Amino acid sequence: MKIAVVSDSHDHIPLLRRAIAQAVNLGAQAILHCGDVVAPSSLEKLGVHQIPIYVIHGNNQGDAWGMARLAAKPEHQLRYLGQDGVVELAGRQIFVVHYPHYARAMAATGDYDIVFCGHTHQPEILQQPNLHNSTTPVLNPGTVGGVGASATFAMVDLATLAAEIITVDDQYPLPNIASAN
């Protein structure tokens, strides 16, 4: 299973929509957003892709109540996890949080197959030594909103845990939102 990981969209709706369309075209079957969505309304039109979207709030959480309300709508595949959360996809335990120091600490437990974070707006993939005498991958996809850096996201193959940072194509064609939720 391939998934896309985004973070720090900061309400830059056109770049977020392009990144998700690009990721779906690359085979993403789920989206994980590592926080700083800000306004929940920026996620509403992503329903056109009909894939699950898991999101946490980050330090620019905006309207947490609105996010929970949006996630509660039966027509949405949005799952709001709050400050952090565990997602199981393709038999993998995934921890999602906004802050890199928190991500490295959770990876160090060895309890998760991979950990995702955001906050710095800089993409990074590292191997965190853990308590099981192994390592846990920690991935920061950068800022999908292009805030102070190039707009990027990550594609992750959960079978192999291989990850690739991808630059958002700001000319990528957007899907027709007339059919969006």
pLDDT tens per residue across all 181 residues of the chain? 999 999 999 999 999 999 999 999 999 999 999 999 888 777 776 777 789 999 998 887 677 777 787 777 777 788 889 899 999 999 999 999 999 999 999 999 999 999 999 999 999 999 999 999 999 999 999 999 999 999 999 999 999 999 999 999 988 888 776 544 4
State the pLDDT at residue 179. 47
Q: At 151, which amino acid appears? A: A
Instruction: List all residues 6 or more positions away from 132 whose beta carbon is below 8 Å from its beta carbon.
Output: 110
Domains by residue range for the chain, with CATH: 2-173 (3.60.21.10)
In angstroms, the CA 49 to CA 21 distance is 8
Q: Give the tokens for residue 130.
A: 């853990």
In angstroms, the CA 59 to CA 110 distance is 25
State the pLDDT at residue 178. 54
Q: Counting every residue, how long is the chain? A: 181
pTM (2 d.p.) = 0.92
Q: Are the beta carbons of 150 and 15 closer than 8 angstroms?
A: no
Q: Which residues pair with 164 in a beta bridge?
A: 155
